[in-house]
Amino acid sequence: MADRLTPPAGGSAIDYERAFRVRSPDRPVIPYIEGDGIGPDIWAAARRVFDAAVAAAYGGRREVQWFEVFAGEKAIARYGAGMYLPDETLAAIRDWRVAIKGPLTTPVGGGFRSLNVTLRQELDLYCCIRPCRWYEGTPSPVRHPEKVDVVIFRENTEDVYAGIEWKEGTPEQGKVLAFLNGEMGTRIPADSGIGIKPISERNTKRLVAAAIQYALDKGRRSVTIVHKGNIMKYTEGAFREWGYEVAAEKFPGHTITEAHLSQGDRQLDPGERVVIKDRIADAMFQQILLRPDEYDVIALPNLNGDYLSDAVAAQVGGLGMAPGGNIGDTAAVFEATHGTAPKYAGLDKVNPGSLILSGAAMFEYIGWDDAKSAIQRGMESAIRDKIVTYDLARQMDGATEVSCSAFAEAIVQRL
């Protein structure tokens, strides 16, 4: 295939020591995927905010060199049928290391994997991070959304998401069933679909280590390992064990377990050390609603991480406001966490907040904290002034409903 992408002249690549230890030049090349459906609307709005925030924070000393790369429907229009995720898009993200994307349509049927899953697997983006905090004025279903300030680290490569499953009635299912019932002593009904849930020591340890490193770098107080180990001992239970193990192996002196702090009636002071604790998943869903301020960084396997991320996002205003990033040792892709909302495509209507806050998380990741803070300030102030898109306006009294682009403009005026 002919090389069709031309990176912007004058920019350079972000330096990558490992996950969460990157150094950005003043003019980093950052590839972006606009996305399908509402993608072009929210990307245009978000880019306006990003450029204004960087200009406000650094007065021309720093500037992102945006580099458009293609995936989804735009890639097919450019590269031809079936080319949902061209190799050169993956190569560009590998080369430039930090990218940002809008939502992509998951092609239905035809044996296509989700593009998002493919991106994560191809680039080995093993942590899905979701910072969740409340912006004053955002409508919330809970009484104290201001108590939520957590960063979720969800394992991104295995668990039931590994996609290893067999359909009921197929020869493959028959073989697996015969092995399990015949040789392993199980009693699985013959009319079952069967799925496999792999959770490995390596992938668990690198995920929990990244969460602990993040907590140490950012001055966070605790890392909570969430699992369903009381039922699934060798997968979820092992996730818990390996989580504690990696804390002791890699961060002795910098971490302490909750159990160690509790001495009868007395609670020891952890000092500067990050407290490692664990919770069973069902209890955690209750705890995060009732006592969210006791949680800080949270590490989970893939499926429970998926659920808890959306549940916590709901507490602080819903998916329209939830940022996300997929991070590996040599690349990171930040993304809006909602889908392509096709019915709103091209209407300049939806909330660009998720993509804008994903950009803020990206700036924090590359060490541009002032750009991140400017975005957060602008967003909070626009919402406090009740200038919001339809999704928030319908839940607020006295709000001024504005378009996607006008919301971005309101943020820019308040950076």
Which residue is listed with tokens 């998380």? 361
Question: Looking at beta carbons only, is 28 or 102 nearer to ligand NAP?
Answer: 102
Verify binding: residue 366, ligand NAP, rule CB under 6 A: no
Q: What is the 3-state secondary structure (H, E, C) of 105-158?
A: CCCCCCCCCCHHHHHHHHCCCCEEEEEEECCCCCCCCCCCHHHCEEEEEEECCC
Task: Specify whether 228 is catalytic.
Answer: yes
356 class by beta-carbon count within 10 Å (0-12 exposed, 13-18 middle, 19+ buried): buried
Q: 84, 126, 161, 295: which is the annotated catalytic residue?
A: 161
Q: Dump the DSSP string for 179-201.
A: HHHHHS-----TT--EE-----H
In the annotation, is 84 catalytic? Answer: no
Using CB atoms, what's the residue nearest to ligand NAP? 339
Active-site pick, 36, 278, 306, 348? 306
Do the beta carbons of residue 316 and residue 142 sit within 8 Å? no
Phi/psi for 229 (5° steps) reads -70, -15
Q: Which of residues 89-118 bind ligand NAP (CB under 6 A)?
A: 103-106, 116
20 Cβ contact partners less than 8 Å away, ≥ 6 residues apart: 210, 213, 214, 217, 327, 365
Catalytic-residue membership of 282: yes
CA-based torsion, 298, 299, 303, 309: positive or negative: positive
Q: Whole-number minimum distance, CB 391 to ligand NAP, in Å?
A: 4
351 touches ligand NAP by CB under 6 A: yes
Q: Site mask, ligand NAP, residues 168-197, x = CB under 6 A?
A: ------------------------------
Q: Which one is catalytic: 228, 278, 296, 372?
A: 228
Tell me which of 282, 293, 343, 369 is the catalytic residue.
282
Select from 93, 83, 86, 160 the least CA-distant residue to 124.
93
> Least separation, in Å, of the C-beta of 318 and ligand NAP?
8
Binding-site member from 45, 211, 350, 360 for ligand NAP (CB under 6 A): 350
Q: Which of residues 9-38 bind ligand NAP (CB under 6 A)?
A: 38
Residue 410 half-sphere exposure, CB side, CA atoms within 13 Å?
22
In the residue annotation, 348 being an active-site residue is answered as no
Q: Which residues pair with 257 in a beta bridge?
A: 276
Q: Which of residues 375-414 bind ligand NAP (CB under 6 A)?
A: 391
Q: Is 338 in the site for ligand NAP (CB under 6 A)?
A: yes
- Taking the complex as a whole, the smallest distance from the CB of residue 335 to ligand NAP amounts, in Å, to 6
Number of residues that bind ligand NAP (CB under 6 A): 17
Out of 25, 237, 270, 339, which residue is the one contacting ligand NAP (CB under 6 A)? 339
Residues 294-333 as x/- pattern, contact with ligand NAP by CB under 6 A: --------------------------x-------------
Task: Pick from 335, 348, 364, 409 the residue near ligand NAP by CB under 6 A.
Answer: 335
**Interactions with ligand NAP, residue window 39-68 (CB under 6 A):** 42
List, as one string, the DSSP characters of 361-401: HHHHHTT-HHHHHHHHHHHHHHHHTTEE-HHHHTTSTT-EE
Contact residues for ligand NAP, defined by CB under 6 A: 38, 42, 103-106, 116, 320, 335, 338-341, 350-351, 354, 391
Residues with a catalytic annotation lie at: 161, 228, 282, 306
